[in-house]
Chain A
Amino acid sequence: MTATFPLDLSGASFIVVSLLLGFFFGFFLERAGFSSAIRLTGQFYFRDWSVLKVMFGAIVVAMLGLAWLSLAGVLDFGAIYVPETYLWPQLVGGLLLGAGFILGGYCPGTGVVAAVTGKLDALFFLAGIFGGIWIFGAAEPALHEFHQSGARGVLTLPQVLNLPAGVVAFLVTLVALGAFWVAEMSESRWRLYEKTYARGRSGAPASPAPSQDEAALV
């Protein structure tokens, strides 16, 4: 079987492709509104579910694409990089990153997009990220044992659940659809509540809407 993908790019084409992929990544993050800490954190107050919708939606699109393309023989899934599982550091790292998310308002990728669109707080967030990575890197020798704990190598959900990959992909899609339904319900409830009781106290940023002139500027 000779699968065409993944390509093995090098040199100039690798650089161009990497930049272009990043370009679209940043573009769609900004389009989703992820350059706004208010919108991102709105997820955790059940007001704006776009974090969950965009993340789960993108996972499902890419997952189904990978599944179909490898079924069709176009893609060699064995050559795709799958992040290895290190149970305990990933659990603890996730807790720390989640705490950093709600404290700082962004995650690393969205922080970049926020900073380039002019969010000053995101610049401080990015500075913090560099600091945090630096501290971890410097301290890694001391934390090495924990950093390696719970190592399971490349472990996937189909292996854990002992189900075919296609079935797991189907289940994940179902869960995502369920999550979208919950998101829509919650958002419409919130809009109703806001309309009825809490007009003007919605936690929206204090800055006034841009004027007509400003709108015409760019």
Chain B
Amino acid sequence: MSEQATYLPAFSERMIKKHHVAIMLLHWFNAFVWLAELTTGAALIQSDRFRFAPQWYVELVTGVFGTRANMLRFHIAVGLTWIVVLAVYGIFGWRTYLREEVLKREIALDRDDVNWLRIRILRLLGRSNEPLPPQGIYNAGQKLFALTVYAMVPLIAISGLIMAFHWGPASVVGWAVVVHFLAVAVVVSGLMIHVYMGAVFPEEKPAFFSMITGMVPESYAYRHHRKWWEEVKMLERKRAAGELEEAAPQASSRVWAALRAREYWPAYWAALGLGLTLLAAFLLVGQGLGASGGFTRYLAFLIQLVAPGYAASHPYWSNYVQAGRPVLMDFLALELIGVALGGLVSGWLAGRLRWTTDRGPSVPVRARWALAFAGGLLSGFGARMARGCTSGLALSGGATLSAGAFVFMLSVFAAAFAGAYLLRRIWL
């Protein structure tokens, strides 16, 4: 049996796996953190030596958060979350993430890499046409960027903590400000190239999509990352020949399998998770979960932005728009962002993200959209009338045995069952 003939014909279209989903999640989490921290950080700088953002920018960004103090709080909250997430990756992923991924693949420069850098620079200057040496899963430029980032991240984190909590005397805090700024500046200079290569440079398109799908075309791996391609081939050959022992299943793999399962979870497991989340909400913030209250906050925020006078004097909106308290500094408004992220991550892990329209077999797409909009109008109106929706009133009120919540729950089910009979043409 010829080994080569088995894979060569499908060479160009075949996709091979490059990134683990945990790495992709970390990547996009980092992207979000850097975007949020750079946006707010630029507006937070007070020292004349470092301030570069124009006044209008500072006012615009501060305006979103209401006050500078709130913006600082947000900056610190995101930064702390970032440190915790990195620490969790480092501790729990010590073997798979730190040792295998970071030390062996992301930052270890070998002789080929040094040559690659030399030739790459000479070629950019038009002084050489030597072919580039073969590269591993990351090329030398990427490794250099990774090295810089890994060197700067501890500096940024520690100086940030010193600044946030005023650890030590004023001189230490003063130095922390300088270190924080300079370390970020170093990363940003590399980040510009990173974002340019990933998002704009046409030849690196597959690298960009690999951060979404985890896969790259085999032809791309062959051309740009030859040494890694050879590794993958070697593994595949060994596996085909049965030489590779399957790794013994670990205890954590069952949890992982459940997270990656394409089927929905059994309702009772989801109920347990949801119930514990609801209980945690009561314990940590003293109120239950909700959804429509958060929507109302965002709407009130928009109304305030467009017509501050109207919002402040209107008998209903003024409940939400109070002087000195930013509209969005509210549990339900913040929680709603989390809901979107949680749904996204869950759908992603299970491979359920795709653009579709959920509809009954006999309803055209556009009609379904119109019906959904009409249903949304009724739901939004009804939720505000009742002072809560299925989450905020029925679920959270139900758990606290509020009488109104049970009245609401019964009327929701009554109307939905009656409506289901009348509207059976939509769904059946």
A-B CB contact pairs (8 Å), 21 listed? A12-B73, A15-B77, A18-B285, A24-B280, A28-B346, A31-B269, A33-B264, A80-B400, A93-B384, A94-B386, A102-B375, A102-B416, A103-B374, A105-B371, A106-B375, A108-B291, A108-B390, A117-B347, A130-B298, A155-B402, A215-B351
Are A140 and B316 neighbours in the complex by a CB distance under 8 Å?
yes
Are A119 and B358 neighbours in the complex by a CB distance under 8 Å?
yes
Q: Report, nearest first, the 3 A-B pairs whose CB atoms are least far apart.
A: A104-B375, A128-B376, A22-B338
Chain A residues with Cβ below 8 Å from B399 are 58-59, 62-63, 66
Is B308 among interface residues, defined by CB-CB distance under 8 A?
A: no
Are B390 and A107 neighbours in the complex by a CB distance under 8 Å?
yes
Q: Which of A18, A66, A87 contacts B404 (CB 8 A)?
A: A87
For the complex, what is the distance from the CA of A59 to the CA of B284, rounded to whole Å?
Answer: 17
Is B401 among interface residues, defined by CB-CB distance under 8 A?
A: yes
Which residues of A (39-53) have their CB < 8 Å from a CB of B? 39, 41, 43-45, 49-50, 53
Least CB distance from A149 to B in Å reads: 11
Least CB distance from A218 to B in Å reads: 4
Are A96 and B342 neighbours in the complex by a CB distance under 8 Å?
no
Which residues of A (109-158) have their CB < 8 Å from a CB of B? 109-122, 124-138, 140-141, 143-144, 147, 152, 154-158
Are A144 and B339 neighbours in the complex by a CB distance under 8 Å?
no
Chain B residues with Cβ below 8 Å from A120 are 355-357, 365, 369
Least CB distance from B355 to A in Å reads: 5
Least CB distance from A115 to B in Å reads: 8
For the complex, what is the distance from the CA of A75 to the CA of B399, rounded to whole Å?
Answer: 15
Given contacts A84-B404, A129-B383, list 18 more A-B pairs with CB under 8 A: A6-B284, A7-B286, A8-B286, A22-B337, A36-B358, A45-B424, A55-B398, A83-B387, A91-B407, A97-B383, A98-B419, A101-B412, A109-B289, A113-B339, A124-B376, A135-B381, A140-B316, A203-B427
Encode B397-415 as 1/0 by CB contact (under 8 A) with A. 1111111111111111111
For the complex, what is the distance from the CA of A172 to the CA of B336, rounded to whole Å?
Answer: 29
Closest to A10 in B: B73
Is B156 among interface residues, defined by CB-CB distance under 8 A?
A: no
Is B309 among interface residues, defined by CB-CB distance under 8 A?
A: no
Which residues of B (275-293) have their CB < 8 Å from a CB of A? 275-292
Is A192 among interface residues, defined by CB-CB distance under 8 A?
A: no
Chain B residues with Cβ below 8 Å from A75 are 282-283
Chain A residues with Cβ below 8 Å from B290 are 109
Is B128 among interface residues, defined by CB-CB distance under 8 A?
A: no
Is A82 among interface residues, defined by CB-CB distance under 8 A?
A: yes
Chain B residues with Cβ below 8 Å from A14 are 285, 331
Chain A residues with Cβ below 8 Å from B401 are 63, 82, 156-158, 165, 168-169, 172
Is A65 among interface residues, defined by CB-CB distance under 8 A?
A: yes
Is A186 among interface residues, defined by CB-CB distance under 8 A?
A: no
Is A205 among interface residues, defined by CB-CB distance under 8 A?
A: yes
Is B213 among interface residues, defined by CB-CB distance under 8 A?
A: yes
Chain A residues with Cβ below 8 Å from B384 are 93, 132-133, 136-137, 140
Is A23 among interface residues, defined by CB-CB distance under 8 A?
A: yes
The binding surface of chain B is classed by DSSP as helix
Are B338 and A104 neighbours in the complex by a CB distance under 8 Å?
no
Are B340 and A18 neighbours in the complex by a CB distance under 8 Å?
no
Closest to B69 in A: A11
For the complex, what is the distance from the CA of A90 to the CA of B74, rounded to whole Å?
Answer: 36
Least CB distance from B216 to A in Å reads: 12
Chain A residues with Cβ below 8 Å from B80 are 12, 16
Q: A107-B379, A152-B403 are in contact. Are A116 and B347 (CB under 8 A)?
A: yes
Are B276 and A61 neighbours in the complex by a CB distance under 8 Å?
yes
Q: Which of B271, B272, B409 has the most CB of A within 10 A?
A: B271
Q: Which of B292, B296, B352, B404 contacts A90 (CB 8 A)?
A: B404
Encode A194-205 as 1/0 by CB contact (under 8 A) with B. 000000000101
Chain A residues with Cβ below 8 Å from B17 are 216
For the complex, what is the distance from the CA of A61 to the CA of B348, rounded to whole Å?
Answer: 27
Count A interface residues, CB 8 Å: 141
Count B interface residues, CB 8 Å: 137
For the complex, what is the distance from the CA of A126 to the CA of B340, rounded to whole Å?
Answer: 12
Chain B residues with Cβ below 8 Å from A217 are 15, 213-215, 351
Q: Which of B299, B414, B427 has the most CB of A within 10 A?
A: B427
Q: A22-B339, A99-B416 are in contact. Are A104 and B404 (CB under 8 A)?
A: no
Are A58 and B403 neighbours in the complex by a CB distance under 8 Å?
no
Encode B329-363 as 1/0 by CB contact (under 8 A) with A. 00100111111111111111111111111111100
Is A20 among interface residues, defined by CB-CB distance under 8 A?
A: yes
For the complex, what is the distance from the CA of A211 to the CA of B423, rounded to whole Å?
Answer: 33
Q: A6-B285, A62-B275, A169-B401 are in contact. Are A100 and B335 (CB under 8 A)?
A: no
Are B394 and A22 neighbours in the complex by a CB distance under 8 Å?
no
Closest to A169 in B: B401
For the complex, what is the distance from the CA of A207 to the CA of B360, rounded to whole Å?
Answer: 11
Q: A25-B274, A82-B397, A84-B404 are in contact. Are A100 and B382 (CB under 8 A)?
A: yes
Are B338 and A26 neighbours in the complex by a CB distance under 8 Å?
yes
Q: Which of A16, A26, A66, A214 contacts B346 (CB 8 A)?
A: A26
Q: A57-B271, A117-B347, A127-B373 are in contact. Are A108 and B379 (CB under 8 A)?
A: yes
For the complex, what is the distance from the CA of A69 to the CA of B420, rounded to whole Å?
Answer: 40
Chain A residues with Cβ below 8 Å from B402 are 82-85, 154-157
Closest to A81 in B: B287
Closest to A89 in B: B385
Are B339 and A57 neighbours in the complex by a CB distance under 8 Å?
no
Are B404 and A114 neighbours in the complex by a CB distance under 8 Å?
no
Are A32 and B264 neighbours in the complex by a CB distance under 8 Å?
yes
